[in-house]
Amino acid sequence: MSVELVKKQDIAAIYQYLNIVAKQTDYLTFDSSGLTLSLAEFEPAILQQLASANTVYFCYKLEEKIIGLINLQIYPKTKMAHRATLGISVLADYQNQGVGNALLTVLITYAKQVEQLELLELEVACENAAAIHLYKKFGFKKIGELPRFFKMNQRYLDFIMMQLDLTSSK
């Protein structure tokens, strides 16, 4: 078990992972049908992100199987470059076993080393109590609400925005 920086050779496994996790949750931006890109289309898009100084991905591996993924996206505009957004997911069979905790620990440690970064931000579904609890444990605070943020099958899902101030612990 280990958290690792995503490498080029992980891309096919990440593609497979994302298509599995999409079927397990309503909280991702893509739905249960999975990614709309083929692997051949997905690979160059991810390679471009991995080459960017503004993006980093870490994966949690269990015997070479990816069971969790987290990414950090630093806003590229100068006036917003002190902020970054993160996204995290864990396969259903491995939730509540410390995977999210390990991924967040590594990502926050990384973010604190990025000189210009002051704030980490995320959006989370109001009904996702386990995720909200995890984020609060790491010091994230609610900073706003996003009513009707997702619409699925004629049902709206409200989200909240949360933020972690990195300057208080750098």
Q: In this model, does residue 9 exceed pLDDT 70?
A: yes
User: What global pTM score does this model have?
Assistant: 0.92
Under 8 Å between Cβ of 51 and 42: no
Q: What is the CATH number of the domain that holds 142?
A: 3.40.630.30
Alpha carbon distance 21, 68 (integer Å): 9
| Residue 68 maps to a domain | yes
Query: Region 4-22: what's the mean pLDDT?
Result: 93
**Domain membership of residue 21 as a residue range:** 2-165
Residues near 14 by Cβ (< 8 Å), separated by ≥ 6? Answer: 6, 46, 57, 59, 66, 69
| Residue 58 maps to a domain | yes
Count of the separate structural domains present in the chain: 1
Predicted confidence (pLDDT) per residue in 90-121, tens digit: 999 999 999 999 999 999 999 999 999 999 99
| Residue 152 maps to a domain | yes
| Residue 170 maps to a domain | no
Alpha carbon distance 13, 29 (integer Å): 19
- What is the pLDDT, as a whole number, of residue 56? 97
- What is the pLDDT, as a whole number, of residue 25? 80
Q: Please give the backbone phi and psi of residue 19, each rounded to the nearest 5 degrees, phi first.
A: -70, -30
